[in-house]
Amino acid sequence: MSSTSKYIIEVKIDVIKTLKLLGITAGALTAIGLGTYYIHQRIQRSKRVILRDEVKHVLEPFELTDEQLRRVMANLNTEMINSLKSDGDIDKNDLGMFPTYVHRGPNGQETGEYLVVDLGGSNFRVSHVVIEGRNRINLKNKIFLIPHSLLLGEGERLFDYIAECLQRFIDDNGLNLNKPVDYTFDLAFTFSFPCNQTSLSQATLVSWTKGFSCTGVVGHDVVLMLQQAIDRRKSLKIQVVALVNDTVGTLMACSSIYRDCKVGVILGTGTNACYFENIENVPKWTGVRNQTTKQVVINTEWGALGKHACLDFIRTSIDRELDESSLTPNQQVFEKMISALYLGEIVRLIIVDLVQRSILLPGRMHKSPSLGRDYNIFLSLRGSFYAKHVDDIECDTTEDLSVTSLILTSIGIQEPSYDDCYIIREVCKTVSLRAARLAAAAIAVLVNRVNLPSVTVGIDGTLFRHHGKFKKNLTRTLSRLVPRTHRLVLSEDGSSKGSALVAAVHRYTNEIATSS
Ligand code: GLC
């Protein structure tokens, strides 16, 4: 054998030895690796079980049973009946149950040109509405931002600003062109706050809700205040003919299409509903009682439910915390559990609670919100988590929860883990489900009160319009709570079209009355 071939054989043997050795080492390493991985997984899994239990414990008070919902229904119904009584003590009743002086829906005969001002959220809208008969409606509108200072400043300035925007809208759209010099527009004022009405165009603001807090308006006639602001601008020729709550606008717009629409609901920044009630069930009605006023639309202001503790059996410590730090403590208790203005804040407060219990973002946050350096700004800032976040996270079906992770990162929660994302999605689901189920319970009460073989409910507001899961949960719960036939319909442009329809019905009724 040559020395070369011997060398080759030796090298071969060495290689085999090395390979064997390496094989053993690789096997051992793989085994050790897998072992460690499984142990890690098991620790993670058991950690998750503990986590799940702790999270469950925190979220449990938000999970309402059907029995609890039925108790909410019974309490709401009782409060409604009490608030309709003439001898009811206003301070003891939760609800406004305001008669709105709207007695019927449109019949298709109404026509005319109207302006509508819609004030109720953080923006307001001016619309030009032309009703051409048979409920054919043309609408043009523009949204104006309200500077935050106006929401909290002097009321008169807010109304002056509205008049200024009206002027701009009329000029920009050339609405005065080809009109006689003394032409006066009829204007419907969609004003979505609790008002005590003494006619269609007289309405005293009872209290602000939804973050408004202008001075010098509560206790005053808001129609008069708007009229005075308009009249201060000599070139504006406008008569405010109707005050309309957004729920009533929603109901009217929807009932122009569906004859059996008897309930209007808003599920948006705030929540509220109105419905057609028989006058004989409204002892406090002081207006005319005749053939044309057999029914009246009642603005329930159901958001105020709970003022006198009838919801205490479902209120959580988080609800109380949110209420105490709000602009309106102990008011709008029901609304604060449901509406878009508050949903994000409820979630944020639960997240803070979970962080303080070291369940969420463990070790990466200071325990007290006294703003340690690491303490996330988002976690300490009231109102920094929106209903939109709740919806997006709740609907995140990606395997790695990347949508949730992205949202959390975008609001400043650095590198959330999968567990963090998972828990926060559970929180969002729970809070949103509670809101939808409570809204369903309240709608069920009205569907029962209307007491017809089938009822259409007109609904508007971001929660119903854009939050997919919310709508599904609402619909499902409602079907369980009311066996009666009902359908939920999105009311398009309700607060503009519907308010114009209120003015049109009023004009038509007056014309008929004077011509007969
Ligand atoms: C608030 C207002 C109410 C309005 C509702 C929806 O609850 O008090 O009048 O209808 O928000 O905008």
Confidence at residue 371, expressed as pLDDT on a 0 to 100 scale: 45
- Residue 315, judged by CB atoms within 10 A of its CB (0-12, 13-18, 19+), counts as middle
Specify the ligand 1 atom closest to the Cα of 247. 10
Q: What is the 3-state secondary structure (H, E, C) of 149-161?
A: HHHHCEHHHHHHH
Q: What is the mean pLDDT of residues 27-44?
A: 59
| Per-residue DSSP letter, 358 | T
- Tell me which residue of 229, 243, 210 sits closest to 118, measured CA to CA: 243
- Tell me which residue of 154, 156, 141, 123 sits closest to 188, measured CA to CA: 141
Q: What is the mean pLDDT of residues 101-120?
A: 95
333-347, 354-368, 421-435, 483-497: least confidently modelled range: 354-368
- Determine which helix (DSSP H) or strand (DSSP E) holds 4, and give its type and residue range: helix 3-59
Q: Which residues are catalytic?
A: 125, 192, 246
- The pLDDT confidence band at residue 3, using thresholds 50, 70 and 90, is very low
Task: List the beta strands (DSSP E) in 246-371.
Answer: 261-267, 271-278, 295-299
Q: What is the mean pLDDT of residues 485-510?
A: 92
Confidence at residue 50, expressed as pLDDT on a 0 to 100 scale: 59
CA of 246 from ligand 1 middle (Å) equals 7
Q: What is the mean pLDDT of residues 221-228?
A: 98
- The pLDDT confidence band at residue 39, using thresholds 50, 70 and 90, is low
| 3-state class percentages of the chain: helix first, strand second, coil last, to nearest 5 | 50, 15, 35
226-240, 293-307, 350-364: least confidently modelled range: 350-364
**pLDDT mean across residues, the chain:** 88
Q: What is the mean pLDDT of residues 307-315?
A: 97
79 lines ligand 1 (CB under 6 A): no
Confidence at residue 429, expressed as pLDDT on a 0 to 100 scale: 97
459 lines ligand 1 (CB under 6 A): no
CA of 121 from ligand 1 middle (Å) equals 9
CA of 118 from ligand 1 middle (Å) equals 12
Our CA angle for 100, 105, 110, nearest 5°, is 110
Percentage of residues in the chain with pLDDT exceeding 70? 86
- Best of 195, 269, 272 for a ligand 1 pocket test (most atoms within 8 Å of beta carbon): 272
Whether 4 has a pLDDT exceeding 60, the answer reads no
- Best of 95, 123, 189, 210 for a ligand 1 pocket test (most atoms within 8 Å of beta carbon): 210
Specify the ligand 1 atom closest to the Cα of 332. 7
What is residue 131's three-state secondary structure?
Answer: strand
Whether 11 has a pLDDT exceeding 50, the answer reads no
Whether 504 has a pLDDT exceeding 60, the answer reads yes
Specify the ligand 1 atom closest to the Cα of 193. 9
Task: List the beta strands (DSSP E) in 370-480.
Answer: 454-460
- Quick check: 247 and 273 in contact, CB under 8 A? yes
- Quick check: 421 and 404 in contact, CB under 8 A? yes
| Identity at 71, one-letter amino acid code | R
Whether 34 has a pLDDT exceeding 60, the answer reads yes
CA of 330 from ligand 1 middle (Å) equals 16
Tens of pLDDT, residues 427-471: 999 999 999 999 999 999 999 999 899 999 999 999 999 998 999
| Identity at 35, one-letter amino acid code | G
Q: Whose alpha carbon is nearest atom 1 of ligand 1? A: 270
190 lines ligand 1 (CB under 6 A): no
Read off the pTM. Answer: 0.88
Q: What is the mean pLDDT of residues 196-222?
A: 94
Whether 18 has a pLDDT exceeding 60, the answer reads no
Rounded Cα–Cα distance for residues 361 and 380 (Å): 15
Confidence at residue 37, expressed as pLDDT on a 0 to 100 scale: 57
- Tell me which residue of 266, 259, 229 sits closest to 244, measured CA to CA: 266
Q: Whose alpha carbon is nearest atom 2 of ligand 1? A: 193
Rounded Cα–Cα distance for residues 91 and 89 (Å): 5
CA of 193 from ligand 1 middle (Å) equals 5
CA of 270 from ligand 1 middle (Å) equals 5
Task: List the beta strands (DSSP E) in 281-406.
Answer: 295-299
Q: Whose alpha carbon is nearest atom 9 of ligand 1? A: 193
Task: List the beta strands (DSSP E) in 200-254.
Answer: 202-205, 238-244
Helix 340-356 to helix 387-394 angle (10° resolution) is 70
Tens of pLDDT, residues 149-169: 888 899 999 999 999 999 999
341 lines ligand 1 (CB under 6 A): no
Confidence at residue 460, expressed as pLDDT on a 0 to 100 scale: 95
What is residue 349's three-state secondary structure?
Answer: helix
What is residue 142's three-state secondary structure?
Answer: strand
More confident of the two residues 196 and 18: 196
Q: Whose alpha carbon is nearest atom 8 of ligand 1? A: 193
| Identity at 192, one-letter amino acid code | S
User: How does 78-89 read in b/e, with b if 16+ C-beta sit within 10 Å?
Assistant: ebbbebbeeebe
Whether 6 has a pLDDT exceeding 70, the answer reads no
118 lines ligand 1 (CB under 6 A): no
Whether 170 has a pLDDT exceeding 80, the answer reads yes
Query: Could you tell me how many residues make up the chain?
Result: 516
- The pLDDT confidence band at residue 8, using thresholds 50, 70 and 90, is very low
CA of 172 from ligand 1 middle (Å) equals 30
Rounded Cα–Cα distance for residues 477 and 426 (Å): 19
| Identity at 11, one-letter amino acid code | V
CA of 12 from ligand 1 middle (Å) equals 87
80-89, 369-378, 427-436: least confidently modelled range: 369-378
Confidence at residue 95, expressed as pLDDT on a 0 to 100 scale: 95
User: How does 408-421 read in b/e, with b if 16+ C-beta sit within 10 Å?
Assistant: beebebeebeebbb
Percentage of residues in the chain with pLDDT exceeding 90? 70
Whether 352 has a pLDDT exceeding 70, the answer reads yes
447 lines ligand 1 (CB under 6 A): no
Q: Whose alpha carbon is nearest atom 11 of ligand 1? A: 270
Token output for 500: 């114009």
67-71, 288-292, 393-397: least confidently modelled range: 288-292
301 lines ligand 1 (CB under 6 A): yes
460 lines ligand 1 (CB under 6 A): no
120 lines ligand 1 (CB under 6 A): yes
193 lines ligand 1 (CB under 6 A): yes
Tens of pLDDT, residues 388-422: 999 999 999 999 999 999 999 888 787 889 999 99
